[in-house]
Amino acid sequence: MSTEVELDEKVAFDKQTVYSKNLVIYNDEVNTFDHVIDSLVKVCKHETVQAEQCTWIIHYNGKCAVKEGDMDDLLPMRRALNERGIDAKIH
């Protein structure tokens, strides 16, 4: 019976790994820090501190994965961020 439980846990982990995607925001010279922070809070449901940290990472590294999940969850967020003028893609 312990073998069956271990197998079920492995299958659940593999499904999560296969379907997991990242919503990535790229730096630009157009959007302000406040606009990106506000967008992350409203669209991605980040806490303000988390949104600020992501914004600094975007600024210094050129991009940041701001959310992880499946395509069904991330696609509406990407569209909303794009509508706000933010360059976001799903990888």
What are the tens digits of pLDDT across the range 6-16?
555 555 555 55
- The predicted model scores a pTM of 0.80
Indicate the average pLDDT of the chain.
88
- For the chain, what is the radius of gyration of the CA atoms? 16
Tokens at 27, concatenated = 């730096």
Q: Which domains does the chain have, with CATH numbers?
A: 20-90 (3.30.1390.10)
Does the pLDDT at position 84 exceed 70?
A: yes
- ∠13-67-62 over CA atoms, to 5°? 125
Tokens at 79, concatenated = 């569209």
Question: For the chain, what is the largest distance between any 2 Cα atoms, rounded to a whole number of angstroms?
Answer: 58
d(CA 34, CA 17): 33
The answer to whether the CB of 39 falls within 8 A of the CB of 86 is yes
Q: How confident is the model at residue 18 (pLDDT cuts 50, 70, 90)?
A: low
